[in-house]
A and B are shown apart, each in its own frame.
Chain A
């Protein structure tokens, strides 16, 4: 340590006061580090003065110029970020509302589609039903008509049977007796036979 101090102080210009200090500190019991630069008390006033000057200068520079500047920049940025966040929140709310409206519209549309489908289905069903009913009634009318026709034809046929029976009876009588039978008598006999046995003896 002492070597170093000697080494380091010799190139310095101020040999004399240094030597003085060395002896002084040693005399004070300043210890093994005699002349150790940090403890050389004659440099103290100068250091304190320049410390006060430079530290004061730095304090003024920083507190007057640098720090307010940084503070405004940070403040501006914070405001800006807050604004942006607010705006983002607003937009998000709007988006949520839009989504809700969309969902509502979708639900309504779905419900309406459902009702329309149901209505259409019912309508078609009713129409089909109506058509079916119409067809059925028409068909049953035709059936009734056909049945009536059949009955009529049958009656007519039965009527013809009487005439044929009278003719046949008259012919048979003519062949058997060789002379013509009285038409009214024959008619009466056939009618009696037919009324007694209307199904023709079946």
Chain B
């Protein structure tokens, strides 16, 4: 739950701590699991390889075979968001991705990367992205306007989607957890029994949140892939 201590300007905060925890866990997971470099993988190595191939396929299918150089970025993004979401489910842990500034910084960075890559690779031709083919000339200004707006609103939708999902889920958890406490403190013995209901809800919502967390990490990564494809092949 985003119980957060805002620091003074750049102090080391709860959020920063949990970011570094995610980084540590991911690094440990990906590096130590592969230490054996076994021909026949063990459980840990296998799971790392599943992540790797999953993201590799995603990048290849959605961005194209020439997008190998963006693979580490997408992989890092997916792992970071995935693990941040999962870690956020633990009690007392902090969900980094439930803060709009974090997701917006990520989405904005991707937006800038896509735009810069597009212009570097294709120069002015990158603007052709906003001019769909086969549109009547009369409609062209309108369509181009819509395309530009949708392009610019990408980082907003990209970041708000992840942020809102994580925030909503965790608030729901928090609310139900609050019910348990208020039942117990407010109703005494009956409250202990009544508290079972919100507890069951918490179990169910936690399961749902695991799904949502994974799904949102996936969505974030796949959208990044698609934006990158626009940068690599704007004519499409």
Interfacial chain A residues near B149, Cβ < 8 Å: none
Instruction: Give the shortest distance, in Å, between A15 (CB) and chain B (any CB).
Output: 10
Question: Could you say which of A39, A58, A65 has the most chain B C-beta atoms within 10 Å of its C-beta?
Answer: A58
Instruction: Give the shortest distance, in Å, between B151 (CB) and chain A (any CB).
Output: 23
- Chain A's interface size range is 35 or more
Q: Are B6 and A50 in contact (CB under 8 A)?
A: no
Tell me if A's interface is mostly helix, strand, loop or mixed.
helix
Q: Are A69 and B31 in contact (CB under 8 A)?
A: yes
Tell me if B's interface is mostly helix, strand, loop or mixed.
helix
Interfacial chain A residues near B19, Cβ < 8 Å: 50-51, 53-55
Question: Does B130 sit within 8 A of A, measured CB to CB?
Answer: no
**Known contacts A50-B15, A54-B16, A62-B79; is A70 also within 8 Å of B178 by CB?**
no
Q: Which residue from B8, B37, B175 sits with its C-beta under 8 Å from A69?
A: B37
Q: Are B52 and A70 in contact (CB under 8 A)?
A: yes
Interfacial chain A residues near B34, Cβ < 8 Å: 66, 69-70, 73
Instruction: Give the shortest distance, in Å, between A72 (CB) and chain B (any CB).
Output: 7
Interfacial chain B residues near A7, Cβ < 8 Å: 178
Question: Does B100 sit within 8 A of A, measured CB to CB?
Answer: yes
Q: Are A63 and B76 in contact (CB under 8 A)?
A: yes
CA distance A43 to B48 in the complex (A): 34
Between-chain CB contacts (< 8 Å), 25 pairs: A1-B171, A4-B175, A11-B3, A12-B3, A12-B4, A13-B5, A38-B167, A40-B6, A43-B6, A46-B7, A46-B13, A50-B13, A55-B76, A55-B80, A55-B106, A58-B79, A59-B76, A61-B27, A62-B26, A70-B49, A71-B52, A73-B41, A73-B49, A74-B49, A74-B52
